[in-house]
Amino acid sequence: MKRAPKDTEESARRITRRGLIMGGLMGGFSALLVGRMRHLQVDQADTFRLLAEENRIKFSLIPPERGLIFDREGRPLAVNEQIYRVVLVPEDAGDIENTIARLRQIVPLPDEDVEKTLADIRRSSPFHEYTIADRLSWEQLSEVAVNTPALPGISPKVGLSRSYPLAEDFAHVIGYVGRVSDYDLSKLEEPDPLLKLPQFQIGKSGVENKWEEPLRGRAGNRRIEVNAAGRVMRELDRQQGESGADLQLTVDSALQNFVQARLGTESAACVVMDVETGDLVAIGSAPSFDPNLFVRGISVADYKSLTENDHRPLANKAAQGLYPPGSTFKMVTALAALEAGVITPGETFYCRGHKEVAGRRFHCWKRSGHGWVDLDGSLQQSCDVYYYEIALKAGIENISAMAKKLGIGVRHDVPMSAVAQGLAPTKAWKKERYDQDWVIGDSLNASIGQGFVLASPLQLAVMAARIASGNAIEPRLVKSVDGRETEVKGAVPLDISPTALQQVRKGMFNVVNSGRGTARRARILSEGMAMAGKTGTSQVRSVVVRNQDVPWEERDHALFVAFAPYDKPKYALSVVVEHGGGGSTVAAPIARDVMLQALYGGFPPLSAYPKGDRWRVEQMRKELPIREEIRKQASDRA
């Protein structure tokens, strides 16, 4: 049936209207798309270009070369040695454990090292490089290189590692580096990004730790292109970092080697200090350990052998060890009394072998007594009763103040680990610490370096240097940084009467050089090199028993402090031998040998020793474990 023209026209109008509506909607939508595309491609072009670039380009840190450490003569003490290592990139390895198993057929890998690496991988990015084998031989590295097609993700590398060529000699001074731990990071508010690199190492103790930031340097960076999965495609740019600062220390490695050898197997410490500059030329602590073990990752067995040793090789006895100074403290008491004006140098007191106070007897080391003694005689013979008498006159406050003036009870600013403050006690200190009043007996004990008084070998060396020079000299360990000399501090006169200091120096001279001196067997015979000193024996138990009758750990400590030459002091030193017994028999001979080595710059002639000691010294020299190059230099000088 044919449609009427009117119906046809109506149908055409409807279609046209719908077409226009649809066309309008499509046009509007197209306009919206075009506008949005213009916004994204034109207005937001820079933003999306940056995002695309960041997706494609990554920055990677390049660890800087760590600064070197030298002794005062320029001999290397801490260096960066070239080593061969094998690294693993987990993202490239696929089955990591299978890859490591294949590698272990070529290179022996301890289970402990493998576990550490796997733990690092689980904590960090799979795109980092992880050292899986370190310090390989050239032959081992070559074998790995040949087999790399069968070892996905494995690459042989040449790198740098910290090394300490003099090992045990400077373990307590320089310290060592080790891997950054979570504990290390927790101590820093904004840690350097370098510290988050897998297996990056930082200073853990000693100078390495205290000068960490200057030694570390600044990281470089490289710009690398990566694909969508994060795989490195190529390196686009590299900017080298800034190497760490080089340090020159004040220590003399030849003298340090002699000190460590001379202390031997004793649990002991020795500090040698330049009287004029405060330079620490030797800082020995025995027994020692090899810091290279910690750099490479010390084994459980090696670490256990160090921690279970009763001579405590890991402890830096020179700076952190605290001991009752014994009779080496008597110069402090004498100067306090002289400065307070309560005694004169010629004033005498009678020693009958003890002094009775409040119904208690305080004994002298010589039970029969010394008779009438003045200041000079009291130092020569180390009479305890004399110091009991003058302590009652001077008072503990004056004694404590003098101790601090001479460097005891003060934490000295030297870059070593756990530098001890020591203790010069006062009435207020005891009240605060124990909630007890100070009693007369406390003053008597303190006057002879017992009771609450504590000092480190470093502090005792500072005390000897200040007495010798009359200056408030401060100890210095870092001589220069990148060739720039560091400041010498404290070269100003002490607030102590020069006359009082001279009286004490004279007494110390007679301790070593007079017929009745307690250290006369340790005297130096070389002309112009006479030594002045003071012996000390500090008790570690309240009951007086002969040292040979008790176990080693219950024996007295042996101490000696000294300076030389007497007429023009150059060096001051201290020696402490834990549980060594008598200061005159054990510590003084060590001090004399070290002092002569320092003054002569090598082995002194045998004529420098008393005749009775020359054969012993000659035999000792042959047996001392001194490095061969040092022995040759010392022999040439002698």
The predicted-structure confidence for 160-215, as pLDDT tens digits, reads as follows 889 999 999 999 999 999 988 888 888 888 888 888 777 789 999 999 999 999 99
Cα separation, 141 vs 135, in Å, equals 9
Instruction: Tell me whether strands 247-249 and 69-70 are parallel, antiparallel or unpaired.
Output: parallel
| Residue 191 DSSP SS3 | coil
The b/e string for 153-175 (b: 16+ C-beta within 10 A; e otherwise) is bbbbeeeebbbbebebbbbbbbb
Cis peptide, bond prior to residue 425, ω within 30 of zero? no
Q: Which two tokens stand for residue 428?
A: 């207020």
pTM: 0.86
- Please name which of 195, 166, 193 lies closest in space to residue 182, comparing C-alpha atoms: 195
Other CB atoms within 10 Å distance of the CB of residue 236 = 12
Q: Domain-by-domain residue ranges, the chain?
A: 59-179+201-249, 253-301+316-637
Q: Which CATH architecture has domain 253-301+316-637?
A: 3-Layer(aba) Sandwich (3.40)
User: Please, is 75 exposed, middle or buried when counting C-beta atoms within 10 Å of its C-beta (0-12, 13-18, 19+)?
Assistant: middle
Q: Which long-range contacts (CB under 8 A, 24 or more apart) does 51-59 make?
A: 55/228, 56/225, 56/226, 57/223, 57/224, 57/225, 57/226, 57/236, 58/223, 58/224, 58/225, 58/226, 58/232, 59/221, 59/222, 59/223, 59/224
Alpha-carbon torsion 510, 512, 515, 518, what sign?
Answer: positive
Catalytic residue numbers read 327
Alpha-carbon torsion 616, 313, 418, 430, what sign?
Answer: negative
The single residue listed with the structure tokens 């200090």 is: 273
CATH code for the part of the protein at 59-179+201-249: 3.90.1310.10
Q: Are 589 and 522 in contact (CB under 8 A)?
A: yes
Q: Which long-range contacts (CB under 8 A, 24 or more apart) does 45-50 make?
A: none
Q: How far is CA 129 from the centre of its chain?
A: 31
The upper half-sphere exposure of residue 43, i.e. CA atoms within 13 Å in the direction of its Cβ, equals: 7
DSSP 244: P
Question: Taking the chain (638 residues) in consecutive chunks of 10 residues, what is each chunk's mean pLDDT?
Answer: 61 67 74 73 62 59 90 96 85 81 85 80 73 83 84 83 94 94 84 80 95 92 64 70 94 96 96 97 97 88 93 96 97 98 96 92 93 97 97 97 98 95 97 96 96 97 98 97 94 94 98 95 96 92 64 89 97 96 93 97 94 92 84 64
Cα separation, 249 vs 280, in Å, equals 9
Cis peptide, bond prior to residue 565, ω within 30 of zero? yes
Q: What is the tens place of the pLDDT at every residue in 130-167?
A: 788 778 888 888 888 888 888 888 888 888 889 999 99
3-state SS record for 425-460? CCHHHHHHHHCCCCCHHHHHHHHCCCCCCEECHHHH
